[in-house]
Amino acid sequence: MTANAMVELSDALAGAVERAAPSVVQVAAPRRGSGIVWREDLVVTAAHVVRSDEARVRLHDGSERAGTVVGRDLATDVAVLRVEGDAMTPLAFADASHLKVGHLALALGRPGRNVRASLRMIGVIGRDLPTRAGARLPLWIETDRGLPSGFSGGPLVDAQGAAIGMSTDALVQGADLALPRDVLERIVDEIVAHGQVRRGWLGVAVHPVRLPHGLADQLAQKSGALIVGVEEGSPAHRAGLVLGDVIHAIEGTPIRGPEDLVSALRTRIDASLEIGIVRALQLESRTATTVTRAA
């Protein structure tokens, strides 16, 4: 790369920071992290930063405002704050469909008074990732190195200063990820409308288990979800599910283990479901009506 090309790249990255900086805020609730101006009166940040119902938000001009926590979703590490005062400047988001592994990006944060930037490369663009708290991410982005301290909740931006996603270091052990706009938008809309992300709840604890060969061949699947706990009064309890039952299907969709069960229940809120089980080596079915439960 020539010296002129390096200067042009350097200027382009500095310009990207300048364009995005007015929409990157500091969040203290009471831990300090970063946040993204999502709407003129809303800030999105990482849920693990928010430990109280109130927050202080420091803007680009150094002023501080009071914020109220609209809601949090620990399963996806997203929190939404409503901020008092004049309209803020929302951050523009890029079309993630054009993003490629190898593209340069900047993680931005405001752990102190000033915006900070960290240059990195898009290392992975993945799909269908289970998180430690039981959610599944339909799309996620990982860069080539970890986030600096205080950057969680801030944006990952492209070379034009448009946001690629919200950065978090708390979703998957050993990985710092960015949640793209499509994923964030669904979560934020749920939190704004309901104060939480609603998920269907059955009331069982399960472990993966291999099915006996005969049943595995009959069902065309090798494993299921063994029930090791049933909460008293839960939909599962009312449906007659008991310890030792193996869930192999919900509404005809194969359940091969805990992750499949979480995925099957995620969008089935207050729904009557046919649950296929194995009990004493026999195939049976039960009907359970899920209830809404925040993750």
Residues catalogued as catalytic: 48, 77, 152
Q: Residue 14: phi, psi to the nearest 5?
A: -65, -40
Structure tokens at 113: 């008074």
What is the Cα–Cα distance from 71 to 153, expressed in whole angstroms?
15
Q: Residue 154: phi, psi to the nearest 5?
A: -85, 175
What is the Cα–Cα distance from 80 to 192, expressed in whole angstroms?
8
Give, for 214, the enclosing helix (H) or strand (E). helix 213-219
User: CB count, 10 Å around CB of 73?
Assistant: 22
What is the Cα–Cα distance from 266 to 148, expressed in whole angstroms?
32
